[in-house]
Chains A and B, each alone.
Chain A
Amino acid sequence: MRRAPVLFLAIAITLLAAAPASADISDTAVKAAFIPKFARYVTWPPAAPARTAGQMVLCIIGDDPFGATLNQAASSQSVDGRPFVIKRLSSAAGSGDCAIAFIDGSHAGETLSALGRQPILTVTDARSSSARGVIHFAIVGGRVRFFIDNAQAQARGLTISSRLLALAIGVNQR
């Protein structure tokens, strides 16, 4: 009995995924879904705002390719009962309380430099930027995948779960 709605949902999603929608839109949605999930496989240093604040601040710095999609994805996620709050910034200024920062746009490299060594999980996208954050999205085999710069993560005081590392296309070790 309980299976029926699950089954229905599964079929609906499958049909949806198979629909001839724009690849960009689909990839962006996947990335939007991925970004809050990364929080589960990352451990911030104890003094970081990601640990101390009552909410997880997800910052979009520069261009915002997601729009409402990210808000939607983040609203269904939480970390240790703390909900996500989306904060859109144009530069590194005001990024002090960010736990995760998606950095996009032409000034992505500068922004990354400006963030220095703050304990922020930085995420970049190969589609729009050559600068690499701790996690760097790429499309491989038609699917959204990512690189992980473990050295940068450690420099920022972050610990990344091996389960996440196992999914990376490549891991930059120190």
Chain B
Amino acid sequence: MRAFRNPLREWRAAPAAIFLVAVAILAAGFAIILQNEVTFRANRDRQAQVAAQVLAGSVTAAVDFNDPAASQQAVDAFRVNPQVRYVGVFDRSGRVLGAYDRAARSALVDLARLPPPPESNYRVAVPIESAGQRIGTVIYEVQREALSRRLTRYLTLGALAVMAALVIFTLGMAQAALRRANDELSERAEALGQANELLAEQMEERAKAEDQLRQSQKMQALGQLTGGIAHDFNNLLTVIQGSADILSRDDLADDRRKRFARAIVQAAENAAVLTSQLLAFARRQPLKPELVDLSTLVASMTELLDRTMGERIRIETSLGISCPVTVDRNQLQSAVLNVASNARDAMPDGGTLAIAVSNVPSGSGERMSAIAISDTGSGMDVETASRIFEPFFTTKMTGKGTGLGLSQVYGFATQSGGDVLVESEPGKGTTVTILLPCSDAEVVAEAKLEDAEVPQQARAEILVVEDNEDVGHFAETLLSELGHSVTLATSGEEALELTRARDFDLVFSDVVMPGMGGLRLSEQLAEEKPDLPVILATGYSQEIAQSGSGGRPVILKPYRLATLSQALVDAMSASGK
């Protein structure tokens, strides 16, 4: 920061000083000219006086002895000086003894008749003295220098003074202008600095406001999420609770008992779909990635899609060549179905659903496979399109959609390293493109879909490890139903002790438990009893989602009897039992 100054006063003071200096130079110049002129005049007068006196001295004898020739000779000596206009030597009585007149005006005229000098001449009269007596007079007349000539002589000096003053003035003005520009510049720099500070403040405020907005949006989303979950689960729980109440009656007819049992199963299945979609959105579902060829997968889904879309919607597929991708097959199918069902809902009066599979280069140059699903439906405005991936955001009537479908699509695609693109315009349909990164591995023939039948198997000794008592007893019931002998442990540590005490054919363990979890238990068992097969069960495990199960079979909660039975058969046959 520069010291406080008054720029206005400075600006005014500078030119005043410059002006004064310039005027002083001019005044000095003219004073010198004046002084010169005065000195010049005095000099000229003195010179004339001296010349006259010299003449007077030299003609003393000539006048004394009345010698005109000698007087004239002395006078003639002054002819050589062009400024001398008249020289005359007169005796005591005023009679002329010798004279020279350049203009031949009044040569050899006595003193009494000598005309007065013209204005342009300067005349001096000097007495001729001899032995203290005045014996005559010398008249000496020189031409004054013409005023114009004197002015010409002084013009050089005057012009120099004027030029010096001008130079000073110009330099001073330039200096003042420079200083003013400098001041303006520093003022501007200051203003710029202030503007910068202001901008920084505004940016900070905006960042704060954005933070607040984000926080409130987060809270809004969280509220929407929890509300949605509560709403959907309450519906399902209502069905389950009601059905269970009716089932607990003693006098229930067999067919009605089966119907209510199916209602419970259906509600539970719906709830399982709901939670898996939630997890998919949260990108925390345990994925079972495998190599999938997108064209083959879409081709295998056409029948299912036909049924889902209904008769009024035509399905067109364009299955181009695409690279294989490593994804969870079931999740991919769900994603395609979710997008397709949204497309169906956007075309209540029928239309065309187009599914295209192709390769696309992504922005980073990485090769991607794409499934583009287009409809000819109502389309979306920008506002809606920007929110479709939010969980529980739906434009459908209450009860018609969960608001989780596209959330699952987004969660699945991003968890698989890909992306989802949405292009839409009101009245012009929507295209949703699922992008998935190409895999280097080769595709193997697609395995057959498993039969839902419960396979027959030999009786086995099974150790169930489950900290939740209800789930533990449920598992025990299911396994007993399958004809197995079941021992229940409530922690990993207890299970480890039991396996050391006696032999089991298989360990069926929950993953998430206080203390030793399922993963650590299985690792420990792999060391102590490498031949003992272990099946892990989990509803959600961060560990497994992050690092996998270490090659051990995992079944997802909620599991059904058939799933559990198949897992047992697979595990026993793999371990050779």
Contacts and interface: CB of A to CB of B under 8 A. Distances in A.
Given A37-B64, A40-B64, A161-B61, A10 B131 contact: no
B131 A14 contact: no
A139 interface: no
A53 interface: no
Interface of B: 58, 60-62, 64-67, 70, 93-95, 110-112, 130-131
Contact of A10 (B64, B67, B93, B130): B93
Given A9-B93, A13-B93, A167 B130 contact: no
Contact of A11 (B62, B65, B112): B112
27 contacts: A6-B94, A9-B93, A10-B94, A10-B95, A10-B111, A11-B112, A13-B95, A14-B93, A14-B110, A37-B65, A37-B130, A40-B131, A41-B61, A143-B66, A145-B67, A161-B61, A163-B58, A163-B60, A164-B61, A164-B65, A166-B61, A166-B62, A166-B70, A167-B61, A167-B62, A167-B65, A167-B70
A102 to B, nearest CB: 16
Interface centre among B110, B111, B131 (most CB of A within 10 A): B131
Given A7-B94, A11-B112, A166-B62, 11 more contacts: A7-B112, A9-B93, A10-B95, A10-B110, A10-B111, A10-B112, A14-B95, A40-B130, A41-B64, A78-B131, A161-B61
A72 to B, nearest CB: 16
Contacts of A145: 67
Nearest to A30: B66
Nearest to B74: A166
Nearest to A36: B131
Contacts of A9: 93
Q: List 6 tightest A-B contacts by C-beta distance, closest first.
A: A163-B61, A10-B93, A10-B94, A13-B93, A167-B67, A37-B64
A34 B65 contact: yes
Contacts of B131: 40, 77-79
Contacts of A7: 94, 112
A6 B66 CA distance: 18
Contacts of B95: 10, 13-14
A14 B90 CA distance: 13
Nearest to A141: B69
Contacts, number: 46
Nearest to B111: A10
Interface string A138-174: 0000010100000000000000010110110000000
A145 B64 CA distance: 12
A41 to B, nearest CB: 6
B209 to A, nearest CB: 113
Contacts of B93: 9-10, 13-14
Contacts of B70: 166-167
Interface in A44-94: 77-79
A167 B66 CA distance: 10
Contacts of A167: 61-62, 65, 67, 70
A7 B93 CA distance: 7
B142 to A, nearest CB: 23
A130 B137 CA distance: 37
Contacts of B58: 163
A166 B95 CA distance: 21
Contacts of B60: 163
A164 B370 CA distance: 144
A143 B93 CA distance: 18
A11 B93 CA distance: 8
Interface string A1-27: 000001101110110000000000000
B138 to A, nearest CB: 15
Contacts of A37: 64-65, 130
B454 to A, nearest CB: 171
Contacts of A6: 94
B139 to A, nearest CB: 14
Contacts of A41: 61, 64
Contacts of B130: 37, 40
A161 B64 CA distance: 13
A51 B120 CA distance: 51
B405 to A, nearest CB: 143
Contacts of A11: 112
Instruction: Name the residue in B64, B65, B95, B112 with the highest tally of chain A Cβ atoms < 10 Å from its Cβ.
Output: B65
Contacts of B65: 34, 37, 164, 167
B505 to A, nearest CB: 170
Nearest to B137: A6
Contacts of B111: 10
